[in-house]
Structure 1
Amino acid sequence: MNENTRRHFIKSSAIAFPALALQKGFAKKGSPNGRIRAGMIGAGGRAARLNRIFAAHPDVEIAAIADVDLRRLRPVAEVVGKMQGKKPQTMQDFRPIIDDPTIDVICVGTPDHWHAIPTILGCQAGKDVYVEKPDGHNIVEGQRMVEAMRKHKRIVQMGSQHRSTSRLQTAMQFCREGGVGRCLFAKGWESARQGGIGRPANGKPPAEVNYDLWLGPAPKRPFNQNRFHGRWRWFYDYGTGDLGNDGVHRIDMAFAMLNACLQWEKATTLHHPRTIHAAGGKWYYDDDQEFPDTMQVTYRYDSPTPRILTYDLKLWTPYRQMEETEGAVVYGDKAQLVIGNSGWKAIERGGKVIAQEGGNSDATPHIANFIDCVRSRKRPNCDLETVGHRASVLCHAGNLSARLDRSLRLNPKTETFENDEEANALRGRPEWRAPYVLPKV
């Protein structure tokens, strides 16, 4: 999208939504040698934590925060203002943040269906981007995000914070040094008693919420609390289920360690799988959720390095695998390495622990890595092109296989499904609701 097209998107939306008549720029100019000025898109849920981490970074000033829900926006802005000694600008619509030349980076902490558009517009406006996982709501959006990143030479970090934790980095190093041996099989899993969400009736959106903007590119629907805060991820219009929520972390950890083992073998590392098969469905909860609560996905990688990666999803059980509610494991001919939220351990035959390390899942190092890369222009730990998008495609493909109840064969170069028009139609949306169309790159 060229500059005129980008501005047309903003201008046309401003006609429909008077809130865009808010301040288009901020008085203070950004400086390449000063603090990095950030625009935060999202203030509730995960985004509330991201705002606090960015505000605590000594090299960052949060210049603006946008959220469609004023009930979430106001308290987070107060906290940020106290933390940094200066209250940020606030607004319901994020687009003035994109249009402000004094803002250097944006953080996209929105529901999945709002990941792609701000990221692409941010790249086109010359801003670096931290975007929560998965990269987009679907494969097409993720591809477009990567295209924008490449074309405009931006730093884009996806929010899989495990990539910046010492526990995953040391686990990968243990695999690279041959500690696990030759590995042909890896697995990620999620086991948690989430609870059902019921079937509430439609109602009216809260007065403090710009509901049309919240819907964005998704189809127009009546307001329903189940399709809003905290529960939107269970619906095809907005989310990617738990596979795209927690699963993207576990799959990425398993994938990263499997590739580390291949590096020790001096073998070709993995990119995309050739076949994806998901078995499962919504079998436990009787409620409005659309995504599976029970699922197993198998990803097969073909020659020159055939390997198997699997993912187990059981959202109704409190019972653990390998002492971890959620985690990943690689199986080698020397040892198996199990990693969870509190650390990892390598176990030999007979149960002897031969190496281990503790840790946590705090996102502070991940955001610090992003800020460092904004300065250095090096690829971040969860670079969108080489790491984040690949993990996201695994989640999207797994969800599609489960939704269609059949195996899919993926073309790793085009990220399309071979001989399957129905699956390819679901790689994106039937349409992105105007005026919230997916920008061209």
Structure 2
Amino acid sequence: MKRREFVANSILASTATAFAPHFFIFPKRAKYRTALIGSGWWGLNILREGIRTGEVQVVALCDVDQNQLSKCKEEVDKLCNDQPKTYTDFRECLQKEKPDIVINATPDHWHAVIAIEAMKSGAHVYLEKPISHTVKEGTAIEKVARDTKRICIVGFHRRYSPHNVSGMEFLKSGKVGKIREVKAFVNYNFGKGKLEEQVNPPQGLDWDFWCGMAPLVPYNPSIHPRGFRQYMEFANGMIGDWGPHWFDQILWWTEEKAPKKIYSVQKGGWRETRANAPEIQTAVFEFEEFTCTWEHSIVNPHNEIKTENVGVYFYGTEGVFHMGWQKGWTFFPNDKNKEAIHEDAQLNKPDDQNIDLVWKDFLACIQSGKLPFADIEKGRHATNMSLLANISAKVGRSIAWDYQKDQIINDKEANKLLVRAYRKPWEYPKW
């Protein structure tokens, strides 16, 4: 059997058993009434793959920015004949359309409120990562998913990508040896930038509604569209953006649910922009059986790295394994007489992702009632690693985390940061 055939077969076998995304064929049924909330470029990417399944009927598109909404509607009309209605208020959308599926592709600070309201209205939710802006929001989302018995899948497409699946099999096979050290990293050079002018929001954008429960800050075009993750009012910087993807890969590999202790430092202020997320950050996570570190820089691409500038290194007694993105995975044996082992990535264009495989699991689980491979619980633990690192950096000390009690141990100041005050009239979700 050729290696490509072997890998393809092993992917299907392993995901159907050990990892249990349920790629089965079910009887035809009426299409799922689907609403997209957050109609920017990434939300459209998710919806596009949903339309391609042939199992969704797009009934609504919702966004507080009518400029994005119009562009999205124009593209959707090219993809299907569903003629979805458009909304600027997600509450009206949920009430009038009563969708079976809601895609929540809003900025991070909106994830919890919209996901919770969607599930309470009866919808299953495709939720983008990170699942929440604060820890207890994630707790509340998972609780509502369980209480309502709705499927809440997280956009962890790397759990489904062929090279990630085969790479995880390689790791779990023991060929890397005993692993005691893991390092996740993202290093890009975004440059100094320039100080953005604070201007009036463009016509058609309800900026007050966009800010929502977050502080109402002056508008500037580097926040919206697509730049919000460098603003801590709405997101959690690079570790909040990329961290959940790579932390999820680590938690997929280990049997442990969460780290015991976290320590992080972050620095910034070198850019000439209004963005307030840290330019560099290092975090250390202590697990029972291994130590994990995180590193990111947006001012230095770290050209000394010979794989790619994102991914996870697993350091084993037999060698070093790099789980990457666009370049696949590579194992570098400690024995210099052995050649490196490599597997190319198999990614879909134009965005080099595998969102279609997330949809297969999502739709199968809606029918079967089984939890998806990228279930909300997985998303919560991976997101929490990012959020707890930021809390450690903010209080300036190590914190001890009890995931079963969902609290930081013996640190009142740090525990207060598991939530944040919402701007009225929005109310923080109950957990």
TM-score by length of 2: 0.87
Correspondence for 2:333? 348
Counterpart contact for 2:58–2:84, Cα < 8 Å: yes
- 1:358-410 deviations in whole A, cap 9, x for unaligned? 2233322122221222222222121111x110000000011122223221111
Aligned pairs for 1:378-417 within 5 A: 378-385=370-377, 387-417=378-408
Counterpart contact for 2:179–2:317, Cα < 8 Å: yes
Counterpart contact for 2:160–2:354, Cα < 8 Å: no
| Equivalent residue letter for 2:331 | A
Q: Which runs of 5+ in 2 are unaligned?
A: 1-27, 348-352
Correspondence for 2:182? 186
What secondary structure, in the 3-state scheme, does the structure 2 residue paired with 1:147 have? helix
Aligned pairs for 1:317-332 within 5 A: 317-320=300-303, 321-332=305-316
1:61 to 57, 60, 65: 57
Counterpart contact for 2:262–2:400, Cα < 8 Å: yes
1:280 lines up with 2:272 in the alignment? no
1:422 to 400, 413, 418: 413
Correspondence for 1:308? 291
Counterpart contact for 1:121–1:439, Cα < 8 Å: no
Correspondence for 2:356? 364
1:375 to 367, 381, 389: 367
What secondary structure, in the 3-state scheme, does the structure 2 residue paired with 1:250 have? helix
What secondary structure, in the 3-state scheme, does the structure 2 residue paired with 1:251 have? helix
What secondary structure, in the 3-state scheme, does the structure 2 residue paired with 1:43 have? coil
Correspondence for 1:8? none
What secondary structure, in the 3-state scheme, does the structure 2 residue paired with 1:99 have? helix
Counterpart contact for 2:120–2:148, Cα < 8 Å: yes
Structure 2 distance, partners of 1:415, 1:309, is 20
| Equivalent residue letter for 1:346 | F
Structure 2 distance, partners of 1:181, 1:114, is 42
Correspondence for 1:195? 191
Aligned-pair CA distance for 1:437: 1.8
Aligned pairs for 1:131-150 within 5 A: 131-150=127-146
Counterpart contact for 1:54–1:62, Cα < 8 Å: no
Count of equivalent residues: 396
| Equivalent residue letter for 2:34 | A
Counterpart contact for 2:307–2:322, Cα < 8 Å: no
1:40 lines up with 2:36 in the alignment? yes
Correspondence for 2:319? 335
Aligned-pair CA distance for 1:300: 0.1
RMSD (Å), alpha carbons: 2.0
Structure 2 distance, partners of 1:364, 1:417, is 37
Q: Which runs of 5+ in 1 are unaligned?
A: 1-31, 260-268
**Relative to 1, partners in 2 of residues 1:286 and 1:404: Cα closer, same or farther, differing over 3 Å?**
farther
What secondary structure, in the 3-state scheme, does the structure 1 residue paired with 2:242 have? helix
Correspondence for 2:16? none
Structure 2 distance, partners of 1:95, 1:200, is 33
Counterpart contact for 2:196–2:273, Cα < 8 Å: no
Counterpart contact for 2:231–2:275, Cα < 8 Å: yes
1:293 to 268, 271, 279: 279
What secondary structure, in the 3-state scheme, does the structure 2 residue paired with 1:115 have? helix
What secondary structure, in the 3-state scheme, does the structure 1 residue paired with 2:275 have? coil
Counterpart contact for 1:182–1:332, Cα < 8 Å: yes
Structure 2 distance, partners of 1:231, 1:198, is 14
TM-score by length of 1: 0.85
Aligned-pair CA distance for 1:331: 1.3
